[in-house]
Chains A and B, each alone.
Chain A
Amino acid sequence: MLTHSPKTVDELFLITNKIKGSYLFHAGGTDLVPYLKSSSDIPNNIIFLNRVTSISEITVHADSLSIGSMVTLDQLANNPLINKNCSTLADAARLIASPQIRCKGTVGGNILVDNRCHFYNQSPFNRGSHGECFKAGGSSCQLVPSTKSSDHPTCRARSVSDLVPTLLILNASLVVRSADLERKISVRDFFKDDGITRNTLKVEEIVVSIEIPDQECSFVKYRKLRIRNAIDFPALGVAVGIKKSRDLSVAITGVNTAPLFHSYQLSDFSDFEQMVAHACSEGKKRIKPLKQDAFPPAYKKLMVDQFIRSMISEY
């Protein structure tokens, strides 16, 4: 394996153009390094992003806020601009992992964090004893053994980013770049319902920044369910947003293969309470918790309802 440390985005793409063999981008490495330790399929090249200073800034524009993908979770949580303009994002960052991981893990890496499955996310030794699953190149799913091996094997590993629900509510977009193209994609269109491919980012693309438009919602909250109050990934994470028009949106992480997002227009309901009741029952219907997860499925369904209602009660 070779390592590369470009200092600019242009230099980075000069490197990717010359590289022979596979490569992966390394942001904070808090998700990637465990992967490198447990995978038999490690890339030929690792490209460190930590010296590309242009993608680690937070800037305010006329009608949006731009967060460089290499901003760390700790910087996000403590940044005065973020705390003033979208404090829920700072709150969500504070709930991620541990203080040490937040000092290294980045915003970009959090959006792209690999899905979790308690069969796959084990040491190679333990994993080998079960037999490799679809995600590790095998021919079965250990988590849901009834899943049939077919042309499109389904991996049910859970999407777990703690920042994504709030970014969905805030209608954020990702600025994505490859050697010859820059594109912008809404976070709402970014994720795939597949625990292996996870999202629409191409191998040769990097996330440059995250853009958050002003005033999407006047009220945003995020709440997280986990066993321990530190370190644990979300077993369930729910964000709610209420617009000035009192339209409601709900985003959910930690349960399904992709994060969920739904919005509800007040005009479609007789009153606000009826809209909230509908959002709760839709949330319960749409999450697909597995009995193999940390909390029983019925409990997670109950907590979706509880989280939505308790956050909205603060509105």
Chain B
Amino acid sequence: MTSSKAIINIDVNDTIYERAIEPTLTLLDFLRIELGLSGTKKGCDNGECGCCTIHLDGRPVLACLILAAEAQGSKVVTIEGVANGEQLHSLQSAMVEEGAIQCGFCTPAMVMNGVALLKNNSRPNQEEIKECISGTICRCTGYTKIEKAITSASKEMLK
């Protein structure tokens, strides 16, 4: 079987990276191994746990189900690109204040889910919040505090 490297240019957190990669490399391994951005977590690596949620061209998607070669020319935002320098995003602050983080493994994905929701919906209701985090599994918090954090971030962002 012929295998030749694919050349990709990807904008990750406002920096353009050009790399020659194996065509079967997932975007998740590209971010974590090639770029050292380990904030995006590798859980099941099969689309079921939702811990590798990132934004691809503005939409929340699972990095483990994407071939990096497909993301050529795309804009990616990971958890490392959410804060503005030292200034945390309102949702990141709310996650801390509400105690919505325990082991922390799902936290980056929960933040990426919530940020995507709040971008398009400044006053999400309980159902919409539940729906937005339904694709990411949390084994510690019981979800309630994460839901509260998204609600309180939405209020903070409206101020």
Residues of A with Cβ closer than 8 Å to B?
1-3, 5, 21, 26, 29-30, 33-34, 36-37, 42, 44, 46, 48, 50, 74, 97-101, 103-104, 229-231
CB distance from B133 to the nearest CB of A (A): 9
Per-residue contact bits, chain B 9-49, to A (CB 8 Å; 1 contact, 0 not): 00000000000000110100000000000000000011110
Of B47, B61, B69, B72, the residue contacting A103 (CB under 8 A) is B61
- Docked Cα-Cα span, A33 to B67, in Å, equals 7
Q: How many residues of B contact A (CB 8 A)?
A: 32
Considering the complex, give the chain A residue whose CB is closest to the CB of B21: A3
A231–B135 CB distance below 8 A: yes
CB<8 Å pairs between A and B, sample of 29: A1-B1, A1-B2, A1-B24, A2-B2, A2-B4, A3-B69, A3-B70, A30-B62, A36-B67, A37-B46, A42-B24, A44-B1, A46-B67, A48-B70, A50-B70, A97-B47, A97-B135, A98-B135, A98-B136, A99-B134, A100-B53, A100-B136, A101-B47, A101-B135, A103-B60, A104-B56, A104-B62, A229-B134, A230-B134
Whether the Cβ atoms of A26 and B24 lie closer than 8 Å is no
Residue of B nearest to A102 (CB): B135
Contact A104 B24 (CB under 8 A): no
Q: Residue on A with the closest CB to B72? A: A5
Cβ of A74: which chain B residues have Cβ within 8 Å of it?
Answer: 59
CA distance A1 to B3 in the complex (A): 4
- CB neighbours (8 Å) of A30 from chain B are 47, 62, 65
Instruction: Assess the B60–A99 pair: CB atoms within 8 A.
Output: yes
Closest to B63 in A: A100
Contacts of A34 in B (CB 8 A): 46-47, 65
Q: Does B131 contact A (CB under 8 A)?
A: yes
CB B44 to nearest CB in A, in angstroms, measures: 10
CB distance from A169 to the nearest CB of B (A): 25
Pairwise interchain contact A33-B26, C-beta atoms closer than 8 A: yes
> Closest residue of chain A to B45, judged by CB?
A37
> Are the C-beta atoms of A1 and B23 separated by less than 8 Å?
yes
Chain B residues lying within 8 Å of A5, measured Cβ to Cβ, are 70, 72
A21, A100, A231: the one contacting B60 at CB < 8 Å is A100
The complex places the Cα of A48 from the Cα of B1 at a distance, in Å, of 19
Instruction: Report the separation of the CA atoms of residues A26 and B69 in the bound assembly, to the nearest whole angstrom.
Output: 12
B146: chain A residues at CB < 8 Å are none
Q: How far is it, in angstroms, between the C-alpha of A298 and the C-alpha of B116 when the chains are bound?
A: 42
| Bound CA–CA A5/B2 (angstroms) | 17
Render B44-82 as a binary contact track against A, CB cut-off 8 A, 1 for contact.
Answer: 011110100100100111101111011010000000000
- With a CB–CB cut-off of 8 A, which chain B residues contact A98? 47, 50, 134-136
The answer for the CA separation of A100 and B66 in the assembled complex, in Å, is: 12
* Contact indicator A26/B47 (Cβ below 8 Å): no
Q: In the complex, what residues of B have CB within 8 A of residue A42's CB?
A: 1, 24
- Complex formed: what's the CA distance from A3 to B72 in Å? 11
Q: Is B113 at the interface (CB under 8 A from chain A)?
A: yes
- Which of the listed residues A29, A37, A98 has the most CB atoms from chain B within 10 Å of its own CB? A98
Q: How far is the CA of A42 from the CA of B3 in the complex (A)?
A: 11
CA distance A226 to B61 in the complex (A): 22
What's the Cα separation between A98 and B132 when bound, in Å? 9
Closest to B112 in A: A100
Q: A33-B26, A99-B113 are in contact. Are A104 and B65 (CB under 8 A)?
A: yes
Complex: A99 Cα to B121 Cα, angstroms: 15
Measured CB to CB, the nearest residue on chain A to B70 is A48
B6 at interface by CB-CB < 8 Å = yes
A2–B3 Cα distance when bound, in Å, is 6
Contact: A33 with B65, CB < 8 Å? yes
Q: Output the least CB separation between B111 and chain A (Å).
A: 13
Residues on A with C-beta less than 8 A from B24 are 1, 36, 42
**B72 surroundings in chain A (CB, below 8 A):** 5
B128 to chain A: closest CB distance in Å?
A: 10
Nearest chain B CB to A98 CB, angstrom units: 3
| Chain B CB within 10 A, most for which of A3, A30, A48 | A3
Q: Is A3 in contact with B23, judged by CB distance below 8 angstroms?
A: yes
Instruction: Give the chain B neighbours of A231 by CB distance below 8 A.
Output: 48, 50, 134-135
Q: Report how far A46 CA is from B72 CA in the complex, Å.
A: 14
Q: Chain B contacts of A48 at CB under 8 A?
A: 69-70
Instruction: Give the one of A42, A74, A99 with max B CB within 10 A.
Output: A99
Contacts of B4 in A (CB 8 A): 2
